[in-house]
Chain A
Amino acid sequence: MSSGHEAREANAPSVIPFGPQHPVLPEPLHFDLLLQDEKVVGAVPQIGYIHRGLELLVEKRDYADYVHVAERICGICSFMHGMGYCEAVEGLLGVAVPDRARFLRTFWCELERAHSHLMWMGLAADAFGFESLFMATWRARELIIDVAEETAGGRVIFGSAIVGGVSKDPSDETLMRCMEALKPARDDIKKLSRVMLQDATVRHRLEGVGVISKEKAYELGAVGPMLRASGYDFDIRRRGYAAYGEVGFETALETAGDCMARAAIRIKEIEQSFSIMEQVVAKMPAGPVSLPIKGMPPVGECFARLEQPRGEVIYYVKSNGSRNLERFRVRTPTFANVPAMVEAMRGASLADVPTIILTIDPCISCTER
């Protein structure tokens, strides 16, 4: 063996497997990290550990019963998945849900966004070794979960979306009381956000790490906080589905495109969610919360787009006029964000990999379905 050959061997990148069972990941995700010394030169993601194949289940379930399967695409944005499916089917049926249902849907969407972002903040803190911040954010999150349980009936799987409206109708007094009950959580979150954004150790771990430029983020098809953190103004809520057209909010934007910017976007959006919830409760119209739906969906297809905590999600349904839909398809935000995440990892050091993975807020369960 020539010495030149040996030298090439020594310079070849070493492959470090990351996952599927890894302390930083609550869900199984596998990466083959190609390392040159401490620097990541490439990452090959492998998914499929939690693929269930629930899109095909739409052929076996009644279209109205499928909502509870759609809710279980992911346990974190469960209400939005159920609601997105319902919006697509309602589009097929050509019905408009009652006003009160639209407002209640917006309320639960924002409740879910707040708890999802807080959950992310805790997990990210855990990923860079700030355990007390993890514990404190999850304590604040429990107050939000209590409101979910009181208004919708479920802690993580709300179970309140149905085709034609919503199945639960919390009274206006209950909603007011819930907003009161959320006040301590809001105060806690303000304090915790200061730690997350200003603490020297956190900034050291997040600033300048995993940078994605505005052009690159757009080119790679990133969505949600990943895109907004790079300075691209894109928020599906601006299209005004549900009651978003009737509430005022500013799209959170950052320009740095690093892990810190993504954290800052989510922290801004938690406060934004509370403000939207306040407006929704103040403007809550009276009336029924659901329409009786009769008959089968007509032959045709329909799209629905929502803004989930992780970004834009697209639902597609196709009906053949029978009780069972012919096709159901979801394009989830994490799937759209994976190419940008792999790009962000390139050139990062091995120790930053968990932080970068966490700041895209991956939801593997949505991605693999």
Chain B
Amino acid sequence: MSSIERSPWLIHYDASSCNGCDIEVLACLTPVYDAERFGCIVTGDPKQADIFLVTGSVNHLNAPILKNIYDQMPEPKAVVAIGACAYSGGVFAECYNVAGGVATTIPVDVYVPGCAAKPESILDGVVRAAMILKEKEKAGRKARALARKEGRRSPKRRAGGAT
């Protein structure tokens, strides 16, 4: 087990959710569901976050903010799209100000189903994202070792955007 898998830091952004999934995300952090037992801490700072929890769908106003937060997160990082809206727009898919799911703006690693998503499934999503983080870290380490062997400059580990 790598250290990143045991202590992933979370950041949450409400893209254009109805609040239903947001309060369930908060419920995950409080005593009954308690995501902290997996080593998770919520942070408001993208530069310290490993897992990005996004609720709701994307529109033209929040897409740059979503992208901005994602770009500021250091590698490796994982994105969890929570709820039906984050997948496709959900019940609001036909609304004029909904551009689609989170995947239209940033790459998504885990989808959590539900409208609103239940805390149990959000926790499952976070644990899966932590496993993906571990895989990504391993892949990153391999790429760096290979680069060193070949005498290239190693890819940046903590990058603002590009790997």
What are 16 inter-chain pairs, A to B, with CB distance below 8 A?
A21-B46, A23-B44, A26-B19, A49-B61, A50-B17, A52-B92, A53-B97, A57-B94, A69-B92, A75-B18, A139-B31, A142-B27, A142-B31, A155-B116, A156-B23, A156-B116
Measured between beta carbons, the chain B residues less than 8 angstroms from A75 are: 17-23, 116
Contact of A60 with B by CB under 8 A: yes
Judge whether A157 and B61 touch: CB under 8 Å: no
Contact of A185 with B by CB under 8 A: no
Judge whether B32 and A142 touch: CB under 8 Å: yes
Tell me whether A57 and B116 are in contact in the complex, defined as CB-CB below 8 angstroms, given that A21-B65, A23-B44, A50-B16 are known contacts. Answer: no
Measured between beta carbons, the chain A residues less than 8 angstroms from B20 are: 72, 75, 78, 156-157
Contact of B24 with A by CB under 8 A: yes
A23 to B91, CA, bound (A): 28
Tell me whether A50 and B62 are in contact in the complex, defined as CB-CB below 8 angstroms, given that A22-B44, A26-B22, A72-B20 are known contacts. Answer: yes
Given contacts A26-B12, A74-B18, A155-B24, 11 further A-B contacts (CB under 8 A): A20-B62, A21-B44, A23-B44, A51-B16, A53-B98, A56-B95, A69-B92, A72-B91, A155-B118, A156-B19, A365-B18
A23 to B13, CA, bound (A): 10
Q: How many residues of A contact B (CB 8 A)?
A: 41
A155 to B115, CA, bound (A): 10
Measured between beta carbons, the chain B residues less than 8 angstroms from A60 are: 94
Measured between beta carbons, the chain B residues less than 8 angstroms from A344 are: none
Chain A 1-44 interface residues, beta-carbon cutoff 8 Å to B: 20-23, 26-28
Measured between beta carbons, the chain A residues less than 8 angstroms from B90 are: 72
Residue among A23, A28, A60, A78 with most chain B CB within 10 A: A28
Residues of B within 8 A of A (CB): 12-24, 26-27, 30-32, 43-44, 46, 56-57, 59, 61-62, 65, 69, 90-92, 94-98, 115-116, 118-119
Judge whether B13 and A52 touch: CB under 8 Å: no
A136 to B90, CA, bound (A): 33
Contact of A330 with B by CB under 8 A: no
Measured between beta carbons, the chain B residues less than 8 angstroms from A52 are: 16, 57, 59, 92, 95, 97-98
A23, A57, A122, A136: the one within 8 Å of B95 (CB): A57
Measured between beta carbons, the chain A residues less than 8 angstroms from B44 are: 21-23
A49 to B22, CA, bound (A): 15
Contact of A186 with B by CB under 8 A: no
Contact of A175 with B by CB under 8 A: no
A52 to B85, CA, bound (A): 11
Measured between beta carbons, the chain B residues less than 8 angstroms from A121 are: none
Number of A-B contacts (CB under 8 A): 122
Judge whether A51 and B97 touch: CB under 8 Å: yes
A78 to B22, CA, bound (A): 13
Contact of A138 with B by CB under 8 A: yes
A28, A135, A154: the one within 8 Å of B14 (CB): A28
Judge whether A135 and B17 touch: CB under 8 Å: no
Judge whether A73 and B31 touch: CB under 8 Å: no
Closest-CB distance, B22 to chain A (whole angstroms): 5
Contact of A232 with B by CB under 8 A: no
**Would you give the 0/1 interface string for A147-159, flagging 1 where the beta carbon is closer than 8 Å to chain B?**
0000000111100
A157 to B114, CA, bound (A): 11
Measured between beta carbons, the chain A residues less than 8 angstroms from B31 are: 135-136, 138-139, 142
Closest-CB distance, A314 to chain B (whole angstroms): 19
Contact of A268 with B by CB under 8 A: no
A74 to B116, CA, bound (A): 11
Judge whether A365 and B32 touch: CB under 8 Å: no
Contact of A119 with B by CB under 8 A: yes
Tell me whether A363 and B19 are in contact in the complex, defined as CB-CB below 8 angstroms, given that A28-B62, A50-B14 are known contacts. Answer: yes
